[in-house]
Amino acid sequence: MLSINFNLKIKDIKSTSKTAINLIFNYDSNRLKMGTGFSILPKYWNFNTQRVKEVMEIPESEEINIQLELLEQNLKRIYNKYIEKGIQPEPEILKNELINSDDLLIRPKNKDDFWGFFNVFVEEKRKVVAKGDVRDYDKSLRKHLKKVEEKHGTPLHFDLFKNTLGNVIEKLDYYLEFEAVNAEGDYGLKVNTIGKIHKNIKSFLNWCFANDVISRFDLKHLPTIAEEQDNVYLTEDELSRLQKLKLTDEDDKIRDLFLIGCETSMRFSDFTKLTIDNIKQNEMLCYRPKKTTKDINGRKGEIYIPFSDRLEEILEKNNFTFPILKPIGISEFNTVLRNICKDAKINTRFVKEYKVGGKMIRKEFLKHDCVTSHTARRTFCSLKYLANWDTSIIITFSGHTTEKSFRTYIKLDALEKALKVKDLFRQKR
């Protein structure tokens, strides 16, 4: 007879200490007992359903219950696989295969297992954030932390991240600012890149606090650092030249999708996924942003965007549907897009200034070399702001959660800023 149960190590509902949730599998006179990696206060455990009560005090209850369900389903699948082959599996064999199952996130038993918990964190993020954001954790952050660990010959553990003398953040910042190799092959990362790494470390540590991996400690030594970035947007004249350019095949599709982004403030991950189902009432687009925008219940909300003249012209050209690209990554998309912008003679001089390795770097580019898929989003925000649209209206379409984050997308040069406010300098007499 088979039975799979989830029991608490301590069953006293008056206990004020968290206790482990264990899995117990009885089968054919064998018994498998193992930890699930989760622990809760006994008063939040439903002893009848053998699941965590879904109450406000346990915001992670749904995720824990999903993992328990996966454990049970995978255990049955693994066991049946052996039985179908006429093999009676030993409990240790089932345990090892279950632990190594790809879709389970069994937390390490050792509270000091920094990289074990980091791996669980990355896999949980993989379920809820975009691929690019997962890459920031799984590739970039992991790489830099490993480099510091290797450089100083000290395995990382959580106490090293506390604000004490010689903490790992001080060592990491020195490495990032002066020793890490940047995209140009030089030493030192940009201020905003370092700021993003700080943000991602805080995200991981806050996840550890929320999941009772470690006790909470102060993170003030991980400031959000940033410097103003000079990123391009396209003018109405440049958009018009781009739209009129004669193109064929994939180049034509990439140009049209980019222009759709300029008319809607969509990201690459959104405007490349549009289908005819996103058209509503033949006069607007409706979509759920992959990255941001939440309604009052905390869920991702929909954005409705009326057709602009340019958007309607692009839709008419494509028989009121959207161009379908062959499988393409964002890097390849940007490379083709820059060449298209070059052909459209979007070639004004553009200067970027940024700090690297403690030095201010000043580089001059042609504008087409700075265009990316994200330029579409900046173009929408900047042009609507120049057209005196109310900021709250622009944010409705751009999906920004705050006006502060929105204003980082308003990229106006000194002349344009002066033209926008020139009337304020003239008072009627």
pLDDT at 401: 72
pLDDT of 255 > 50? The answer is yes
- Residue 210 binned pLDDT confidence (cut-offs 50, 70, 90): confident
pLDDT at 298: 40
Burial class of residue 52 (count of CB atoms within 10 Å of its CB; 0-12, 13-18, 19+)? buried
pLDDT of 297 > 50? The answer is no
pLDDT at 37: 76
For 135-154, letters b (16+ CB in 10 Å) and e give ebbbeebbebbebbbeeeee
pLDDT of 299 > 60? The answer is no
Q: Give the single-character DSSP code of 66.
A: H
- Residue 232 binned pLDDT confidence (cut-offs 50, 70, 90): confident
pLDDT of 306 > 70? The answer is yes
pLDDT of 414 > 60? The answer is no
Q: Which of 39-43, 63-67, 325-329, 379-383 bottoms out in mean pLDDT, i.e. has the lowest?
A: 63-67
**Average pLDDT over every residue of 367-389:** 91
- Residue 353 binned pLDDT confidence (cut-offs 50, 70, 90): confident
List, for residues 5-18, the tens digit of each pLDDT value.
999 988 888 888 88
- Residue 396 binned pLDDT confidence (cut-offs 50, 70, 90): confident
- Residue 243 binned pLDDT confidence (cut-offs 50, 70, 90): very high
Could you tell me if 374 and 344 are in contact, meaning their C-beta atoms sit under 8 angstroms apart? no
Report the share of the chain in percent with pLDDT over 90.
40
Q: Which of 93-97, 223-227, 312-316 bottoms out in mean pLDDT, i.e. has the lowest?
A: 223-227
List, for residues 335-345, the tens digit of each pLDDT value.
999 999 999 99
For 14-43, letters b (16+ CB in 10 Å) and e give eeeebbebbbebebeeeebebebbbbbbbe
- Phi then psi for residue 272, to 5 deg, are -85, -5
Could you tell me if 227 and 372 are in contact, meaning their C-beta atoms sit under 8 angstroms apart? no
pLDDT at 403: 75
**Average pLDDT over every residue of 42-68:** 86
List, for residues 179-207, the tens digit of each pLDDT value.
988 877 788 888 888 989 999 999 999 98
pLDDT of 132 > 80? The answer is no
pLDDT at 293: 46
User: What distance in Å separates the CA atoms of residue 405 and residue 330, rounded to the nearest whole number?
Assistant: 23
Could you tell me if 199 and 159 are in contact, meaning their C-beta atoms sit under 8 angstroms apart? no
* Neighbouring residues of 317: CB distance < 8 A, sequence distance ≥ 6: 256
> What is the CA angle 109-110-111, rounded to 5?
110
**Which of 239 and 65 is assigned the larger pLDDT?**
239
The pLDDT mean for the chain works out to 85
pLDDT at 375: 93
Cα distances (angstroms) measured from residue 305 to each of 1, 165, 288, 317, 395:
59, 52, 11, 19, 12
Instruction: Select from 129, 64, 37, 127 the least CA-distant residue to 55.
Output: 64
pLDDT of 230 > 80? The answer is no
- Residue 295 binned pLDDT confidence (cut-offs 50, 70, 90): very low
Kindly state the tokens that stand for 256: 């049209």
Cα distances (angstroms) measured from residue 108 to each of 41, 61, 146, 210:
19, 19, 19, 16
User: What distance in Å separates the CA atoms of residue 322 and residue 197, rounded to the nearest whole number?
Assistant: 36
- pTM score: 0.58
Taking the CA atoms of residue 334, residue 337, residue 338 and residue 339 in that order, the dihedral angle to the nearest 10 degrees is 130
- Residue 249 binned pLDDT confidence (cut-offs 50, 70, 90): very high
Provide CATH code, domain 236-425.
Answer: 1.10.443.10
**Average pLDDT over every residue of 55-76:** 83
Instruction: Select from 95, 197, 106, 89 the least CA-distant residue to 143.
Output: 197
**Average pLDDT over every residue of 82-103:** 82
- Residue 92 binned pLDDT confidence (cut-offs 50, 70, 90): confident
Domain chopping of the chain, boundaries: 3-99, 114-210, 236-425
Element spanning 392, H or E: helix 391-398
Amino acid found at 213: V
- Residue 310 binned pLDDT confidence (cut-offs 50, 70, 90): very high
Could you tell me if 64 and 116 are in contact, meaning their C-beta atoms sit under 8 angstroms apart? no
